[in-house]
Chains A and B, each alone.
Chain A
Amino acid sequence: DAGITQSPRHKVTETGTPVTLRCHQTENHRYMYWYRQDPGHGLRLIHYSYGVKDTDKGEVSDGYSVSRSKTEDFLLTLESATSSQTSVYFCAITNRSTGELFFGEGSRLTVL
């Protein structure tokens, strides 16, 4: 157990509304990631963070922003949600000793 919790676990929202997903970790890991998983596309990296206030874009970052003001929290924001952002979102960390990747339980977002 890598001590990762995601919230909310399920959310239904309407097109055009802002949405924030939270990832919280308890083990002081430096690297945190947001992935989305869609049928036919597997897992794709949205954004990642390598420290407080240090973030970078991944493969599918358009329409998303992130923030990391504390080591333990990594927030993913959809400023104006679209139906194409309906997906399952996974947060992950890499263990600072081994580099092994661990995932949270996922957040299912539906944009109507």
Chain B
Amino acid sequence: GIQVEQSPPDLILQEGANSTLRCNFSDSVNNLQWFHQNPWGQLINLFYIPSGTKQNGRLSATTVATERYSLLYISSSQTTDSGVYFCAVDNYGQNFVFGPGTRLSVLP
């Protein structure tokens, strides 16, 4: 089946810093999403982005489907950005496969 990798596994930032999280996948996909799991365990949808670029406030994402990767950019990070960021892909099977996540800690 499709494999999903995320890097880095852990990231520690000072408040106000910028970061880039990466998701690589091993096969073509028709769906790709980024999620944020907050410290309370809730899984929050960030982007639905099978291709192209989207922006939402301080966050933006780019997926280059032909090269099988997606990037999540966080600018001017805040302590509330802390948590785990997951990439999930669906390669035409109606079942999403999740990457292992990037754990982000933003320090005040």
Contact = CB atoms under 8 A, between A and B. Distances in A.
Contacts of B33: 100-101
B42 A102 contact: no
Is chain A's binding surface mostly helix, strand, loop or mixed? strand
Contacts of A33: 95-96
Given A44-B98, A88-B41, A100-B48, 13 more contacts: A43-B86, A43-B88, A48-B95, A58-B95, A90-B43, A100-B31, A100-B45, A101-B31, A101-B88, A101-B96, A102-B45, A103-B35, A106-B42
Nearest to A41: B100
Given A98-B48, A99-B30, A100-B48, A43 B41 contact: no
A42 B42 contact: no
Interface residues of A, number: 20
Contacts of B30: 99
Interface of A: 31, 33, 42-45, 48, 50, 58, 88, 90, 94, 98-103, 105-106
Contacts of A102: 45
Interface string B71-108: 00000000000000010101000111111110000000
Majority SS of interface residues in chain B? Answer: strand
Contact size range, B: 20 to 34
B94 A43 contact: no
A101 B41 CA distance: 16
